[in-house]
């Protein structure tokens, strides 16, 4: 795949020309960033594109090409990222038709949506991981992506908060595909290359989070609710339809292009759900400490995630489109960190030191963020946060893989994703309620949790000390 054309300044300018042709009907001056920042971001994407996509899609002779699974992840995150900038305003729209409570706070309803999605995901992610250990990665990925198709279809026809809530529950139930994808990557990579592969997975996430919110911002201007049609549509149905079609394409891609990796199967082992699987893994002391670090850092991230769109609206008066462009800016930072900075750093410092480097940066950024007086200061702090999480999160995932036996890769990575979902169960309503009463509260608490995670991470052992 040679969409990008090299890393030289001349080829970078050619890449920018390609970008501009693609988005020729969109004015980049609409992005709420100064001209020099817009140009710099675009230049860096163009310069980094070849190294990121060539490594991802052509592979590094790591036993199997990672290109097909990375494309699965990218399409999944592109569809998910597309809905990010509009969830806030979709919730406001659906809250007007909430039959259970006429004067519900949209912020708290948004927290309920996140909690419902994550509760469903928490119960099923370890199950998806273990079933993929037993029956294969490919069929479980197909089942999960099919669930995405159904959830986005419900999104498109939602006329009330209850139906909108149902769409998020369906998405959560079949949301174990990321843990399965992580297990697939672990299957086809050597232990020494696994952190790089997980870092590249983070870069693919970032690409999805650049293009997804960007596309969502563009599609947010298409209102299908006034169309005379037998199928009822809402103001943001165009985004649901786009994500549904994207997931259908992803399902087709998995069926024709993804090859089941060679691995050890966990035949005859009992498949465990959420809390049972978590309690089983806590018996592994090394993994248990990592799970504490992972859970606390995820909890902190969700406190920010649940309230950031509202903070952008209240502090900087950002509408739907501007919110999408801001999330795309965060995606740019994540790609540059995980697709460029992370790999050489983790080769030299290894996973534990990357965690020790990333968590304090993220914690300080979270504490400062709500007190930034201007948009530009907020953008700088968000860039710090993206860097801190961008180097810490893939290192934690890589350690989870290295602390696991080969036959338990899917289960333990599924447990980690399930813990992330548990954080999204506990934090959103609490965070949005705190935000309603005092805007800085969830960010300050998130910063403290991140620094506590840093303290626990100091006791993590080297993966080489773990028995195979």
* Domain assignment of residue 228, yes or no: yes
Mean per-residue pLDDT, 423-434: 88
Write down the pLDDT at residue 407. Answer: 67
| pLDDT at residue 285 is higher than 60 | no
* Domain assignment of residue 9, yes or no: no
| pLDDT at residue 267 is higher than 50 | no
* Domain assignment of residue 441, yes or no: yes
| pLDDT at residue 232 is higher than 60 | yes
Q: Is 22 exposed, middle or buried (0-12, 13-18, 19+ CB in 10 A)?
A: exposed
Question: Which tokens is 393 given?
Answer: 């999160």
Write down the pLDDT at residue 294. Answer: 93
* Domain assignment of residue 446, yes or no: yes
Cα radius of gyration rounded to whole Å, the chain: 21
Write down the pLDDT at residue 212. Answer: 84
Write down the pLDDT at residue 404. Answer: 75
Contact between 93 and 417 under an 8 Å Cβ cutoff? The reply is: no
What whole-number distance in Å separates Cα of residue 290 and Cα of residue 419?
A: 11
What whole-number distance in Å separates Cα of residue 361 and Cα of residue 381?
A: 10
**79: Cβ–Cβ under 8 A, 6 or more apart, which residues?**
148, 152, 212, 242, 243, 246, 247, 250
Residue % of the chain over a pLDDT of 70: 76
- Residue with token string 């180097």: 391
What whole-number distance in Å separates Cα of residue 236 and Cα of residue 153?
A: 12
Return the higher-pLDDT residue of 251 and 26: 251
Return the higher-pLDDT residue of 441 and 397: 441
* Domain assignment of residue 18, yes or no: no
* Domain assignment of residue 84, yes or no: yes
Mean per-residue pLDDT, 441-452: 96
- Residue with token string 């149902």: 166
Helix axes 375-402, 320-336, angle to 10 degrees: 50
* Domain assignment of residue 148, yes or no: yes
| pLDDT at residue 402 is higher than 60 | yes
Mean per-residue pLDDT, 377-389: 90
Contact between 335 and 52 under an 8 Å Cβ cutoff? The reply is: yes
Write down the pLDDT at residue 361. Answer: 95
Print the domain residue range for 130: 41-260+269-465
Write down the pLDDT at residue 1. Answer: 35
Question: Which tokens is 468 given?
Answer: 């195979």
- pTM score: 0.67
Write down the pLDDT at residue 281. Answer: 53
Mean pLDDT, rounded, of the chain: 76
Give the total number of structural domains in the chain. 1
Write down the pLDDT at residue 63. Answer: 40
Q: What is the DSSP letter of 61?
A: S
What whole-number distance in Å separates Cα of residue 238 and Cα of residue 216?
A: 9
| pLDDT at residue 227 is higher than 70 | yes
Write down the pLDDT at residue 410. Answer: 67
HSE, CB side, 13 Å, CA atoms: give it for residue 135.
13
| pLDDT at residue 7 is higher than 60 | no
Alpha-carbon distances of 320 from 114, 130, 343, 439, rounded to whole Å: 19, 39, 34, 20
pLDDT bracket for residue 98 (50, 70, 90): low
Contact between 219 and 168 under an 8 Å Cβ cutoff? The reply is: no
Write down the pLDDT at residue 25. Answer: 42
Question: Which tokens is 125 given?
Answer: 């992610």
Write down the pLDDT at residue 99. Answer: 62
Q: What is the DSSP letter of 219?
A: H
Residue 404: its H or E element: none
**165: Cβ–Cβ under 8 A, 6 or more apart, which residues?**
112, 113, 116
| pLDDT at residue 24 is higher than 60 | no
Write down the pLDDT at residue 298. Answer: 92
CATH number at residue 194: 1.20.1250.20
Residue % of the chain over a pLDDT of 90: 17
Alpha-carbon distances of 100 from 40, 160, 162, 205, 425, rounded to whole Å: 48, 11, 9, 36, 21
Return the higher-pLDDT residue of 23 and 355: 355
**Cα angle 359-192-49, degrees, rounded to a multiple of 5:** 70
- Cα–Cα nearest to 126, from 304, 337, 274, 328: 274
Write down the pLDDT at residue 153. Answer: 92
Write down the pLDDT at residue 101. Answer: 57
* Domain assignment of residue 13, yes or no: no
Dump pLDDT digits (tens) for 300-333. Answer: 998 998 899 899 989 988 888 888 888 888 878 8
Residue 49: its H or E element: helix 35-58
Mean per-residue pLDDT, 194-217: 78
- Residue with token string 């809402």: 234
Write down the pLDDT at residue 381. Answer: 93
Write down the pLDDT at residue 103. Answer: 65
Return the higher-pLDDT residue of 429 and 194: 429
Mean per-residue pLDDT, 179-183: 81
Dump pLDDT digits (tens) for 39-92. Answer: 444 444 344 444 444 444 444 444 456 778 888 888 888 887 788 778 888 888
């Amino acid at each position: 795949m040679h969409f990008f054309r090299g890393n030289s300044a001349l080829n970078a300018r050619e890449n920018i020309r390609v970008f501009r042709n693609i988005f020729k009907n969109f004015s980049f001056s609409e992005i709420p960033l100064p001209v020099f920042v817009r140009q710099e971001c675009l230049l860096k994407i163009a310069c980094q594109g070849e190294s990121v996509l060539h490594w991802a899609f052509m592979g590094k002779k790591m036993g199997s090409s990672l290109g097909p699974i990375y494309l699965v992840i990218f399409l999944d995150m592109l569809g998910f990222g597309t809905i990010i900038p509009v969830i806030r305003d979709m919730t406001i729209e659906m809250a007007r038709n909430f039959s259970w409570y006429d004067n519900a706070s949209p912020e708290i309803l948004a927290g309920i949506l996140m909690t419902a999605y994550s509760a469903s995901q928490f119960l099923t992610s370890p199950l998806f991981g273990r079933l993929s250990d037993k029956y294969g990665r490919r069929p479980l990925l197909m089942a999960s992506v099919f669930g995405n198709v159904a959830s986005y279809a419900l999104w498109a026809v939602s006329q009330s908060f209850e139906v909108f809530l149902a769409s998020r529950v369906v998405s959560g139930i079949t949301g174990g595909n990321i843990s399965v994808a992580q297990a697939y990557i672990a299957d086809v990579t050597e232990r020494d290359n696994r952190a790089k592969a997980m870092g590249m997975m983070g870069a693919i996430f970032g690409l999805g989070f650049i293009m997804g919110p960007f596309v969502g911002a563009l599609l947010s201007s298409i209102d299908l609710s006034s169309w005379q049609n037998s199928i009822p549509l809402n103001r943001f149905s165009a985004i649901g339809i786009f994500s549904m079609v994207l997931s259908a394409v992803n399902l087709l891609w998995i069926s024709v292009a993804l090859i089941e990796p060679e691995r050890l199967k966990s035949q005859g082992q009992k498949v465990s759900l959420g809390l049972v699987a978590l309690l089983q893994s806590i018996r592994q002391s090394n993994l248990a400490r990592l799970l504490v670090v992972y859970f606390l850092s995820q909890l902190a991230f969700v406190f920010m995630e649940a309230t950031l769109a509202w903070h952008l609206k209240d502090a900087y008066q950002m509408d739907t489109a501007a919110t999408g462009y801001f999330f795309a800016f965060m995606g740019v930072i994540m790609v540059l960190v995980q697709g460029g900075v992370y790999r050489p750093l983790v080769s030299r410092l290894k996973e534990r030191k990357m965690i020790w480097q990333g968590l304090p940066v993220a914690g300080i950024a979270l504490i400062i963020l709500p007190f930034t007086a201007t948009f530009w200061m907020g953008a700088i702090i968000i860039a710090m946060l993206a860097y801190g999480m961008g180097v810490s999160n893939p290192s934690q995932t890589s350690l989870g893989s290295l602390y696991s036996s080969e036959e338990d890769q899917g289960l333990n990575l599924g447990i980690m994703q399930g813990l992330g979902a548990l954080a999204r169960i506990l934090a959103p309503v609490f965070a949005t309620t705190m935000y309603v009463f005092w805007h800085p509260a969830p960010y300050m608490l998130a910063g403290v949790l991140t620094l506590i995670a840093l303290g626990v991470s100091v006791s993590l052992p080297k993966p080489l000390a773990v028995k195979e």
